[in-house]
Amino acid sequence: MYGLLIIGLSAACDKEDDNADNSSNQSQLSLSLQGLEDLGSDFRYEGWIIVDGVPISAGLFDVDANGQLSQSSFSLNADDLNAATSYVLTIEPSPDPDPAPSDVHILAGDFNNSTASLSTAHAAAIGTDFSSAAGQYILATPTDGGMSSDELSGLWWLDPSAGPEAALNLPALPDGWIYEGWVVIEGQVLSTGRFKTGNEADDAAPYSGTMAGPPFPGEDFLQNAPNGLSFPTNLAGATAVISVEPVPDNSPMPFSLKPLVGSVPAAPNDRELYPMNNNAQASAASGSVSR
């Protein structure tokens, strides 16, 4: 039934902020949500109630830098609200020319009497809670043309002892979401590129050298250093992050959902596997709606 969320819909998917239909037959839908981030001026959150398999807009809202919702109660048609079987929260462009839900479903839940508990793991949201996500990384610089003096200036999510093979165990993502790697160096957050699975190269190499990198996510920090940093560097004490990003994504910083985080040791060895820690529970959005 959730496939109906991403195909062309009738004008039933009205996007008025208050969703009122000028009828006196109205009821209130109240939101209690945690872990959502500020989307800036180009995107907004939109809720949807699912009635007979069809999504009906249940209100647009923003979230500020403190996670506070701009609006947490919405007036909806009482018959529709009483008949709703589930609630879905999406991220929508602003302004939005399409009356249908976007592919970017972040939370969803089924109504149990008057309340629906929301999570990313619901089939109509991202579809996983990321509790099984795991990974490892090495420090190495495979794009440096054979130099050995800067091996601690690159980070790659691969296992060199196995072929090499992928060192990330990540669940498949639905349309609307993609993984992105990050390394935090001296407080600066640098993207290493986006990817769908740990068995493929990411889509960027802004700091790597002239040689081709291995077919796995990662980055060498050898050139084009941003202001405040010098490359090559030593990644001792840096932080490695795998985030889950919406598509499209208008932010140069990691999205709030960061299932894997790892700290580079203070005295690391090159080509030694280091673990990522599962951070899914701490970073996941959640909440509930009531009618």
At 245-254, the pLDDT tens digits run 999 998 999 9
Inside any domain, residue 56: yes
**Is 229:162 a contact under the CB 8 Å cutoff?**
no
User: What is the model's pLDDT at position 9?
Assistant: 36
Choosing from 127, 157, 177, the residue where a domain stops is 127
Choosing from 95, 127, 159, the residue where a domain stops is 127
Inside any domain, residue 14: yes
Whether residue 235 sits in one domain with residue 194 = yes
Residue 71 identity: Q
User: What is the model's pLDDT at position 23?
Assistant: 53
Inside any domain, residue 55: yes
Low-confidence ranges of the chain (pLDDT < 50): 1-22
User: What is the model's pLDDT at position 250?
Assistant: 80
Helices (H), strands (E): how many in the chain?
2, 20
Inside any domain, residue 13: yes
User: What is the model's pLDDT at position 13?
Assistant: 43
Whether residue 106 sits in one domain with residue 183 = no
The whole-angstrom separation of Cα 167 and Cα 160 is 9
Inside any domain, residue 288: no
Tokens in use for 81? 């609200």
Q: 217, 272, 212: which is closest to 242 by C-alpha?
A: 217
User: What is the model's pLDDT at position 15?
Assistant: 43
CA 228 to chain centre: 28
**Is 44:92 a contact under the CB 8 Å cutoff?**
yes
User: How many separate domains does the chain show?
Assistant: 2
Whether residue 275 sits in one domain with residue 140 = yes
The whole-angstrom separation of Cα 10 and Cα 195 is 34
Quickly count: other Cβ atoms within 10 Å of residue 23's Cβ: 9
Determine the 3-state secondary structure of 289 from DSSP. Answer: strand
Whether residue 159 sits in one domain with residue 265 = yes
Whether residue 153 sits in one domain with residue 67 = no
Whether residue 278 sits in one domain with residue 139 = yes
Please report, for residues 118, 230, 243, the alpha-carbon distance to residue 284 in angstroms, rounded to integers and kept in the order given. Answer: 11, 34, 11
Q: 154, 149, 141, 169: which is closest to 278 by C-alpha?
A: 169
Whether residue 276 sits in one domain with residue 192 = yes
Whether residue 141 sits in one domain with residue 101 = no
Residue 111 identity: F
User: What is the model's pLDDT at position 145?
Assistant: 81
Whether residue 140 sits in one domain with residue 123 = no
Domain that holds residue 93: 2-127
Choosing from 79, 102, 127, the residue where a domain stops is 127
Inside any domain, residue 291: no
